[in-house]
Amino acid sequence: MTRADLLALVARYIGPERMAATAAALGDLPARRFEAPPKIVTILFASRSGSSYAGRLLANTPYFNQVGENFAPDQLAAIAERRSLPDCHSAAQWMIGHRGTPQAFGYKAGFSVLAAAAHLGFLDQMLARTRFLLLRRRDRVAQAVSLTKAELSGRFHSNQQDARPVSISDYDADTIARNLNRIERNERDFADFLAQIGKTAPIVYYEDICADPAAFAGSVCSLLDLPVPETLIADVDLEILRDAVSEEWGARFREERPERA
């Protein structure tokens, strides 16, 4: 598929306004090809599905230095400024070279990052060598609760501070239900996106990663035809944000709306 094909496809899921905002955030882009290692993996995920944990585990293998939302426009702009690079294309090339290795490069993506990858030209240039993963949670209610708490507190990652505290009294079943619908819609859209580009992807569940981190990392290495490391350091520098509020909200939502549980 061409760059134009992929831009039109991603626009079907997020709309022309978000696509235009992404293009504006990236600025003028040179018509250059990217240099990238032979193995590329893209983790497609809805918010609060455990992508930070998955990315940190992969970075504990010999093949990745950092697996994050490496093409997010704000990250590219920050790298361009910090490294005195001329544009976001150069910043993306820096990401590939420094966050990947000579063997592989990985990045996480919701549709916003996919839009950026399409605008940059990375998505179409590297599509043939890219393998995809679908990251999900079996407990979507817990995921929707986590997303609702993050929206209220402003804390989406463990290295952030709460903008405001969240208590049991902030419970809102309608907001949790909307976020649950949003998660399910994202999962359907990711599946459709892969079908449209002619790619298959294994589904990986956060709960299974937690139960056996080494098996997850090994499965990604096998997917990329890379030797599976004999050992894996499973410790990652992340704080679990789930707490008593999360448990109370989840239990209450399941009781009030059993059809969604």
Contact 176, 260 (CB under 8 A): no
- pLDDT tops 60 at residue 49: yes
Both structure tokens of 217: 């990392």
Least reliable range by pLDDT among 6-10, 38-42, 46-50, 132-136: 46-50
pLDDT of residue 235: 74
Both structure tokens of 104: 């592989």
Give, in order, the Cα–Cα distances in Å from 67 to each of 47, 133, 228: 16, 13, 17
Strand 104-109 relative to strand 203-205, pairing: unpaired
Domain extent, residue 116, equals 3-260
Instruction: Specify the CATH number for the domain of residue 95.
Output: 3.40.50.300
pLDDT bracket for residue 173 (50, 70, 90): very high
Q: Domain count of the chain?
A: 1
Name the strands in the sheet holding 39-45, side by side, starting at the edge strand that comes first in the sequence: 104-109, 39-45, 130-136, 203-205
The whole-model pTM stands at 0.92
Number of neighbouring beta carbons within 10 Å of residue 79:
19
- pLDDT tops 80 at residue 155: no
Residue 228 has what DSSP assignment?
P
Rounded mean pLDDT, 15-30 = 95
pLDDT of residue 257: 93
Taking only Cα atoms into account, the Rg of the chain, rounded to an integer number of angstroms, comes to 19
Contact 11, 112 (CB under 8 A): no
Q: Is the dihedral of CA 152, 163, 115, 17 positive or negative?
A: positive
Give, in order, the Cα–Cα distances in Å from 123 to each of 40, 77, 108, 155, 198: 11, 19, 13, 30, 14
pLDDT bracket for residue 161 (50, 70, 90): low
